[in-house]
């Protein structure tokens, strides 16, 4: 701590120097003019001076050392033989903090200076602690906001019914908090990319995903970071935070957020796979019922035509009289022999292919979990059966 001594008497100045140099960084001047120059060019904490030196008094130092921050304004301690009340009032009104009259007790004088030093150090440390607390509080608020962001993203992705909705929820939430991100969703065919504006990523960003998606769960390059999971990757492109605190929090939060989003994507794929498979089975059931009805109707038509032809042949053309029970036996025998082997074989093959397709879809979606979404353009399910002929 720097103490400026303003004393015209060299002997008294030397006494001050010897008694205070062990606890203060003491600098000595012999006039207020010189003291003003020292105060203007360096940080002085305490000034010890006489009330008057030449034509100036101690208030001249106060007038020239006034600063906006009281903690960096020097404390002026006057030690003078002038014990007039008017001088003391003038000194206190002019910015002097302590006015000590001679003769004085040396121990009390030095204890006053030491107490003043302790007070200044304590107040300055309190200011440092206050700034640190403010910084810690701000950091905690930032961390809390970012973790709340992650929780809100997960809550919204649970409601999403497509990867487009998941991407929209995630990217928009990050953007509203000053963070620009891009996402990649992978399936068994072609990865799907979403940039900050929810449009497809440019070729450079796509290349970043393709090169770094297998470089571990977290890959940092510069101020960018790529988080990877089995089916989802999240690229942190820019964080609007100069202090760096928010960036570190994003890294911590992203390590937990991306695997959770990936799990939600898997759940979504399961739901979509079950929904599509259920649709296929309902469609197949309907076709089977139509086919069974068609077979029954065809058999009835064949039996009716056969019976009619036999009756006409027996009654008109052949003119042969047969018992009625023999006629029924001939009808039954004709029904048993009515078949179309080629059409039956084709129908069975069509059904086998259809069931094989459903089995493969279940295997791919439920076990391998390739990405499929409801947002994809609806397939025309009739196209799957255009070439099928039933009986």
88 and 167 co-located in one domain: no
Give, for all 391 residues of the chain, the pLDDT tens digit.
Answer: 899 999 988 888 888 888 888 889 999 999 999 998 898 888 888 999 999 988 889 988 876 655 556 667 889 999 999 989 999 999 999 889 899 998 888 888 888 899 999 988 888 888 888 888 777 776 676 667 777 788 888 888 888 888 888 899 899 988 888 888 999 998 667 889 999 888 999 888 998 998 888 888 888 887 788 999 988 999 988 888 766 667 777 888 888 888 888 888 888 887 777 777 767 766 776 676 666 667 667 766 766 676 676 666 655 544 445 555 555 565 555 555 555 544 554 565 566 566 666 666 655 655 544 434 343 334 444 443 333 333 2
The predicted pLDDT at position 78 comes to 92
The predicted pLDDT at position 299 comes to 64
What's the Cα-to-Cα distance from 235 to each of 8, 26, 134, 179, 193, rounded to whole Å? 71, 58, 31, 10, 11
177 and 146 co-located in one domain: yes
Helix/strand/coil for 388: coil
Long-range contacts of 238-244 (CB under 8 A, 24+ apart): 238/179, 238/180, 239/178, 239/179, 240/178, 240/179, 241/142, 241/178
Measured distance CA(279)–CA(385) in Å, rounded: 14
Query: What b/e readout covers 174-206, taking b as 16+ CB neighbours within 10 angstroms?
Result: beebebbbbbbbbbeeebbbbbbeeeebeeebb
- Number of folded domains that form the chain: 3
241 and 147 co-located in one domain: yes
Look at residues 68, 56, 47, 33 and name the one whose alpha carbon lies nearest to residue 1. 47
Measured distance CA(133)–CA(156) in Å, rounded: 34
C-beta of residue 147 within 8 angstroms of C-beta of residue 251: no
C-beta of residue 201 within 8 angstroms of C-beta of residue 182: yes
| Within-domain flag for 253 | yes
Measured distance CA(40)–CA(37) in Å, rounded: 5
153 and 246 co-located in one domain: yes
| Within-domain flag for 111 | no
What's 246's domain CATH number? 3.30.450
Measured distance CA(316)–CA(295) in Å, rounded: 31
Helix/strand/coil for 150: helix
Q: In terms of residue numbers, what domain contains 59? A: 2-104
Global pTM exceeds 0.85: no
252 and 290 co-located in one domain: no
Task: Show Cβ contacts of residue 169 under 8 Å, excluding neighbours closer than 6 positions.
Answer: 153, 156, 157, 160
244: left (phi over 0), alpha (psi -120 to 50) or beta: left
Measured distance CA(146)–CA(249) in Å, rounded: 7
C-beta of residue 117 within 8 angstroms of C-beta of residue 23: yes
| Within-domain flag for 121 | no
Neighbours of 311 (CB within 10 A): 12
């Amino acid at each position: 701590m720097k103490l400026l001594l303003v004393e015209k008497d060299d002997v008294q100045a030397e006494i001050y120097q010897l008694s205070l140099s062990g606890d203060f960084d003491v600098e000595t001047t012999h006039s207020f003019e010189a003291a003003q120059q020292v105060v203007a060019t360096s940080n002085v904490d305490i000034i010890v001076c006489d009330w008057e030196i030449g034509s100036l008094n101690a208030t001249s130092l106060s007038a020239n050392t006034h600063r906006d921050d009281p903690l960096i304004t020097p404390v002026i301690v006057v030690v003078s033989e002038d014990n007039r009340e008017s001088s003391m009032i003038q000194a206190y009104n002019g910015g002097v903090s302590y006015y000590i009259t001679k003769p004085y007790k040396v121990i009390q004088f030095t204890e006053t200076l030491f107490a003043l030093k302790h007070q200044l150090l304590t107040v300055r440390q309190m200011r440092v602690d206050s700034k640190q607390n403010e910084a810690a509080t701000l950091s905690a608020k930032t961390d809390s906001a970012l973790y709340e962001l992650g929780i809100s993203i997960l809550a919204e992705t649970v409601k999403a019914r497509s990867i487009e909705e998941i991407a929209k929820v995630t990217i928009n939430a990050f953007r509203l908090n000053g963070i620009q991100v891009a996402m990649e969703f992978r399936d068994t065919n072609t990865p799907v990319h979403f940039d900050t504006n929810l449009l497809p990523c440019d070729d450079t960003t796509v290349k970043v995903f393709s090169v770094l998606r297998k470089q571990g769960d977290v890959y940092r390059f510069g101020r960018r970071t790529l988080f990877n999971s089995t089916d989802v990757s999240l690229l942190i492109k820019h964080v609007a935070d100069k202090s760096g605190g928010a960036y570190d929090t994003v890294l911590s939060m992203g390590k937990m957020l991306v695997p959770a989003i990936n799990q939600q994507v898997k759940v979504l794929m399961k739901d979509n796979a079950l929904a599509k498979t259920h649709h296929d089975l309902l469609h197949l059931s309907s076709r089977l019922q139509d086919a069974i009805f068609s077979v029954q109707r065809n058999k009835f038509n064949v039996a009716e035509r056969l019976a009619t032809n036999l009756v006409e042949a027996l009654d008109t053309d052949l003119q042969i009289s047969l018992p009625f029970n023999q006629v029924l036996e001939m009808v039954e025998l004709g029904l048993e022999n009515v078949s179309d082997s080629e059409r039956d074989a084709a129908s069975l093959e069509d059904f086998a292919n259809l069931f094989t397709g459903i089995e493969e879809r279940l295997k791919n979606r439920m076990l391998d979990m390739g990405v499929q979404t409801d947002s994809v353009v609806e397939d025309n399910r009739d196209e799957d059966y255009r070439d099928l002929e039933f009986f």
